[in-house]
Structure 1
Amino acid sequence: MRTVIFLLLFFVNFSSFCTVLEKVYFYKANFVYSRAEKKFHLLPNEDDEVLLLKGTIFYLKGESRKALTFFEKIKNKDWKIYLYLGLAYEDLGKEDRALSFYLKTLSLERVSIASYRIAKIFFYNQNYKKAKEYFEKTIDIDSSIRLAYYYLGKCLLHLGDYKNAYYFLSKAVNFYPHCKKIIQDLKYVKNLLGEKFFVQKRKEEEERRREKKIPFPKKIKGPFPQVRIKILEKKEVIFKCGDKFLIITPSQIIGGKKNRFYRLRLEKTGCFLYGEEIQRKVELPLKIKSKAPFYILDVVYGKKKFWHKSIDTIFRGELVVFLSGNRLLLVNQLSLEEYLYGVVPAEIPSLAPSEALKAQAVVARTIVLRRLEKTKDKLFDFDKEIFQVYRGLNAETSSCRNAVDKTRGEVILYRGKPVEAFYHSNCGGCLRSDVFGRRDYLYSEYKDVLPKKKLSFSYRDKEIWFKTFPEDVFSSGSKNFRWQRIYDEEDFKLAFGKSIKELEKINILSEGECGYKEKIKIEFKSEKDTVEGELNIRNYFDHLKSSAFLIELKYKNSHPHLLILWGAGFGHGAGLSQEGAMRMADLGYPYKEILNHYYKNIKIEKIY
């Protein structure tokens, strides 16, 4: 009887403890730290989780000395404790102590907050050599932290390496085209380099382009569906071909020579074709045909993203040029299977295990076939980046071509029709079904493991989920699995164009499965922003890897001082997790089992 009473009391007390703990996490998540503090007396002081929670809340309130008393009592210190110790000591101006704890953090876990704050401390103290080292380390840990490129450029500028400073500051201007400070810094570096540098740079680029050899790949035979891909839309298209070619307009056929550059330019009086031996007005639309691929200059990928690049790209198939408003619209037309040759390696590393590459090929093909039903009356079926990235012949590898060939004609079907085969880089360990409207073939808040396991997401669960690196999921072990961002006053101004001190409130209005934010209201003194939708939220918060994140707002002297984000995964989290698929393939799972892990109640069938 005594045992029963003891157990009942234990469970009652434990239940009460969990209820209070959940309330404290709720207040923390909603930035009402004072209300959280009022519950502290109901929680035990000897529990490491409670000590960390109390210390974190005092730190976020702006009471770092109090925070330290709790952090230092924790018996089993891990990387999180060392990180918060570093943050608290930095807040108190004790930079040497902060650096030592940040370094301890990095010795245990690759956490970008630690490397970034080390870099900023060295930067503020004008130790640009060490700052450069840690901004580079930050980019190595998480290449999506765009401000690190700016500060790295500034370090190189101070170190006299103007050429590399120009490279990184140019990237920063692409990321933040409206930031006057970054634009001024780039202009300053350009003046230091001088006109001769850029003249020489242009000469080298022109020479490289002239000498570029265009491969002549073997064409695949078969009655495959054709696809039309939007490549670019601008005033001018510059190209050359690896063999002679024909330009077919509504009223004429013009012959072109191999390995010579030609330019189509839209002017006030129409579209003109320029070449070494030709200059004439041409009617639109027009088609450009050859047995060889085409080499197109300045194809932009990832605009404003951390992978932003302008790439000279080679494309199989034919080119079609349309008039689109006051621009030329360039479309690449080719077979679906050849298109996949340029998609699979652009979406997943070509060195990935062959079964993961096959899974990617089937998913990519399924997306195309479902989409083709809806685009018959349009000028193109896909943009080169929307839905999935297509990088043409530049990206092709034998391993990815083999994956496409081995799965030729195979698609994922649900009730006899191709599914919307969503995929993303990394699910962060949790699979969702609600991002684009629920689908019966997608898993809803299931852990990325076999056998399947349902996840819970209370406020406490989310705190633990976003601040740990669980190893028992297929998508773990990647740089994209967990990520962090931290913005001090200077960073916030650069990234958001506003002072962090003007920030009054952040309200999570709607949250979906797995902790993905769906609608957020951000209130400043002078304006209010309401951001809705997974991609819009990611872009608003400085182009995050995903909208699955935890927010911490740190105050100092009653004003917001730091914004800290703890995130999981890369992409929207629905369907195939590419890095999870790679891990499954490493463990010996065949591609059909991989696909059945990420999509339920499906069939994989060969339809041509």
Structure 2
Amino acid sequence: MKKVFRLIIISALLLGILIPVVDHFYQEEEKAAVTMAQESRDRTINELFKLAEEAYYEGNYSTAENYYQEIIELSPFNLESRRNLAVIYNDQNKLQAENKTRMQLTILSNQNQDYLDLAVNFYELNNQLASNYILENKVDEQLEQESLRYQKYYYLIKNDLDLDNLDKAEEYLMKITNLKVNQSEVYLLSAELNRKKDNFKQAFNNYQSAYEENRGQTYLFKNMAEMLELAGEEIEAYNYWQRTLSYGWFRDLAYQKINQYQDKYPQLKPDAEDQEEPEEINPFTLEASWREVEELKNQEENQLLRIGLQENNEHLLFQYSDPFSVVYDGKIIYRAEPRKNYLLEIEAGSIFIRTEEERLRLGSSDLEYQIYSSQQNSSFYVYNINYGQGYFWQGSGNRQYRGNMIIKGEGEEFTLINQVELTPYLVSVVPSEIYASWPEEALKAQAVAARSYTLSNLGRHSSDGYDLCSSVHCAAYNGIMSENERTTEAVLSTQGESAV
């Protein structure tokens, strides 16, 4: 009996030990299986992200959509895939599909940036009431990032102007003005408000201020002329229609207005006999509006590009930020001072460089010359350079560029080329292709896409002597005036990444 009792006790002890051991073994085995399944799913998701990015960079939007949809099915809470999918829909102008995606995204993330992007999407869908509701009730009033506060107020103003809530628009306009950001755009918002309030002369002043902040906006002369007309100042309006025409904007309308006012006011008609010669402008007294050039920290050395800025030049007025030299065939043939106007001009088969004090022949107008500064972070400033040629927004204005100049002589004319490294080039191009207020990952994706496009299209204008042009035929390249801190960071943080 004692033996049986002892046996029972021993068996119970063994079972007490073995059962937890076996149970632990099965639990660990189950955890390992779950871990392996999660790791397999994560690898699949990472691979799908790579495939989606490659498809996006190659312009295969539908394929990229499918990959992101697969990621969402595998991981419904993957916010990055939903944000990227929304960007793809926006690129294709599929605003309803973008709206659905962003609605789901905001429910999952509850983040200010996602609510802002949804509000912008509703604005693009002409649903100003929904856009306003989100901006006023879902986006925090005290946003840390100044760029987000600017975006919020900007769209609140646009919505209220469309809805004729002029008092609310004026209230938000005061807030956005205090940010001291993008003042040219703020002046344009003020002009819209004053136009709706029938304050036409004040709207004219706003448009004029916007132009003074960014002299590349020569198309605003039309708006100024219209405001002066509405204010009853027709003679002054006539002068601004003349300026509109002189910059090549709205030619048919400008000619119509000029002829209309010349018929109404005969004194405006030019008299061939009495017409005075236009006052000659001394090019050497013109002042450049230099912008501070941000140093590109941690910039990697990369290949030099040749960007065609302007063809068919007979003369060119320019400055450099630092001392510079004119180089031909590896030899310095002229040294020059910083921040002083220099005029290049062609005459009798030669190219000359002029200052107010001297005129020097550089050499034959069939040759190529490099205008070069050895200073770090140098830039050059060109007066009255044409842009947007062949497109409805074409015009001319002053521009500042990183890098150096190349003058490619072609006999009676020359081509102006900007020699610039890939990264500084992209720093100007990317903000022309995407809103700088968009999510960081979207900016990085655009930076990689722009780099990939640039590298795959080098030599597109090889027959013209440069790699790419500066218009949207290749990529809109406007120099330093287009740069934005957020897109610059996106370009720098993705250096070396491309689909090429």
More helix by share: 2
Which TM class, normalised by the smaller chain length? 0.3 to 0.5
**TM-score, scaled to structure 1:** 0.39
* Bigger radius of gyration: 2
